[in-house]
Amino acid sequence: MSDEQLTPRERRLKIAEAFTKKVGSKEARRVKGKTQQDHTIWFGLGMFGVVGWSVAIPTLIFTAIGLWIDRTWPSRFSWTLMMLIMGVTLGCMNAWYWVKRAQQDIMKD
């Protein structure tokens, strides 16, 4: 039955039920978050570490490759700068993947 065929009272009941479900799921998630002891300050610092290293390592590797290309085959373009930008971009995409994955794990629980 579509919303246009419902009476005003039935529409209000439908909206109230949806609101109750939404509040209930948020409350259940809040209670679970309070009881879950895995996510302490150390977990948060560890996530900062994962994000930091997932950006830093590709940046350093790509910069080193750019330096090697610049020393081996000199050109008018700075391969170091181009590879630095590529490394930062790849690192940010990598960090985004890990944060998204952690968020999905939290939402799944």
pLDDT score for 91? 94
- Could you identify the residue written with the tokens 């990598």? 94
For the entire predicted model, the pTM comes to 0.60
For the chain, the residue count is 109
pLDDT in tens, 59-98: 999 999 999 999 999 889 999 999 999 999 999 999 999 8
Q: What is the DSSP string of 41-96?
A: HHHHHHHHHHHHHHHHHHHHHHHHHHHHHHHHS--SS-HHHHHHHHHHHHHHHHHH
Distance (Å, rounded) from C-alpha 67 to C-alpha 62? 9
